[in-house]
Each structure stands twice: as C-alpha cells, then as structure tokens.
Amino acid sequence: MTARMTRASNLWIALAGLLIVASGCTQRQQIDASSLDALTEGRDGASASPSKERDAAARAAVAPVGFKDHVQSNAEVPAGLDGLVFLDTAGRRVALSSYLGKKNVVLVFTEGFSGMLCPFCKTQTSRLIDNYQKFQALDAEVLVVYPGTRDHVDEFIEAAMKTEKRQVDEVPFPIVLDEEMKAVDFFSIRSNLAHPSTYVIDKKGNVKLAYVGKDMSADRPSVKAILAEVEASNK
C-alpha cells in the first residue's frame, strides 16, 4: 500500500470515528432530554409543574398586574349584612353595621395566608391605599378583610404599605380579620381560605357589585371599576 493510500485510509478512519462520537452525543442529548422530561412529569405523564402559588408570584413579579376595568356582579349576597362582625388587628370588634346606612362601603376579601401571601392581594391593597382619597371624596369607606388566623397579617400589611408609587406610614382604612371564617361562609366564598372577592354596598345597604374572582390571579375589579360603581351608587 502506498503512503498516499495509507494517509487516505487513516483520514477515512478518523472521519468515521468523529461520526460515531457525534452520533453518541446526539443520542446522549436525546436521553438527557428524555430524562429531564421524566423528572418534570409524573409517572402517569401528568406535568409536575411548579405550584400554582409560586407560578402566580412569578407572574406578578415580572409584569405589571392588570385588574379588570369592566366587571359585573357574578355572585348573590344573602340578607343579613348588618350582622357581620370582624376584628381589627388590635383585637377590637368592627361591626359592618357601623358603616351601613352612613357611607358607601367597599368590602374586599383577600385570600389570607395559605402557604404564602397572595401577590395579587398585596398589589390590590396597595392600589386601594394609593387611591383612598378618591374613595373618601365619594363618601366611601374601604375595608380589607384578611381571612383566617392573624398569622402573617403584619407581614401582609407591611407589604401593602410599599405601594407602587410610594411608601406609606400606615394603612388609611381598616384591615380586619375574619378569624372564624363567618363572613367568608356568609358570602359562600370559602376556598383554601377565601376566594378574592369585592363588594360595593351603597348607603342604603344595597349591594351594587358582588364579584368573586379566581384564586391567585388578577381576576378582580380594578380601582377604576370599583370607583365607577361607587360613583354610580351616589346618583
């Protein structure tokens, strides 16, 4: 065999070796990808995606939260609003009847704490803080309800005070507790704790808006929508 033929033969052997290595890498990448899929799927093929709460927190962190500017009531409210009693963060009784018939009332239920604080609830509360003077101008009082035990309520209030526009020294409206879930059950909004819910009640005690949203989502009325309902109640 000539030297030229030997060199050509060696070249072909080298190329064949490279092809085998490349093929092996491709197969290994496919296996690795399959292994990753297996790790992120259950044995039945169902996706084992991150928890709903973590996913919601991630969405709220990376993009501005847009609540609904146009909503209509999607829930019924039974008679007996004047019997609802909450506790403030100091343990004092706060009766809804002390506002009914005197002011318009905006009653907002957060989701409380079920493993984490709902990022949408914090954003919603901070926007109510930022716009509280507009509610006052319409002779409306805002009450934000924190369902369940008082665990993490201070953390929630502190987070809500860091609004999108400024840092406030205090929340200008009552944040009240529904520790025994009586109000939650009155409105039939029980979930892990409660579905995010918003009620606008006029000075005569009539419910003008009753909106129950989806958990851990921006499915709730915007400040604009709530103000429009309050303004319509004054006409």
Residues 128 and 226 in one domain: yes
The per-residue pLDDT for range 39-96, each reduced to its tens digit, is 233 323 333 344 665 565 555 555 689 999 999 999 999 999 999 999 998 999 999 9
**77 in the same domain as 44:** no
28 and 140 share one domain = no
Same domain, 45 and 123: no
74 shares a domain with 28: no
Task: Give the alpha-carbon dihedral of 125, 77, 137, 219, to 10 degrees.
Answer: 40
* Domain membership flag for residue 56: no
Is 205 a member of any domain? yes
Residue 60 lies in a domain: no
Is the domain of 37 the same as that of 1? yes
Give the chain's domain count: 2
Residues 39 and 92 both lie in one domain: no
**Does residue 54 fall inside a structural domain?**
no
Please return the burial class of 40, using the count of CB atoms within 10 Å of its CB with bins 0-12, 13-18 and 19+: exposed
Tell me, yes or no, if the pTM score tops 0.85: no
Q: Are residues 9 and 77 in the same domain?
A: no
Under a CB-based contact definition with an 8 Å cutoff, are residues 213 and 219 in contact?
yes
Task: Give the CATH number, domain containing residue 102.
Answer: 3.40.30.10
CA angle 76, 79, 83 (to 5 degrees): 125
113 and 78, same domain (yes or no) = yes
User: Could you tell me if 226 and 200 are in contact, meaning their C-beta atoms sit under 8 angstroms apart?
Assistant: yes
* Residue 129: Cβ-neighbour burial (10 angstroms; 0-12, 13-18, 19+): buried
Q: What is the pLDDT of residue 64?
A: 84
d(CA 234, CA 213): 25
Residues 200 and 99 in one domain: yes
- The whole-number pLDDT of residue 56 equals 59
**Domain span at residue 23?**
1-49
Q: What is the pLDDT, as a whole number, of residue 215? A: 95
pLDDT of residue 79: 96
Q: Residue-wise pLDDT tens for the chain (235 aa)?
A: 444 444 444 544 444 444 343 444 444 333 333 333 332 333 233 333 446 655 655 555 556 899 999 999 999 999 999 999 999 989 999 999 999 999 999 999 999 998 899 999 999 999 999 999 999 999 999 999 999 998 899 999 999 999 988 999 999 999 999 999 999 999 999 999 999 999 999 999 999 999 999 999 999 999 999 999 999 999 9
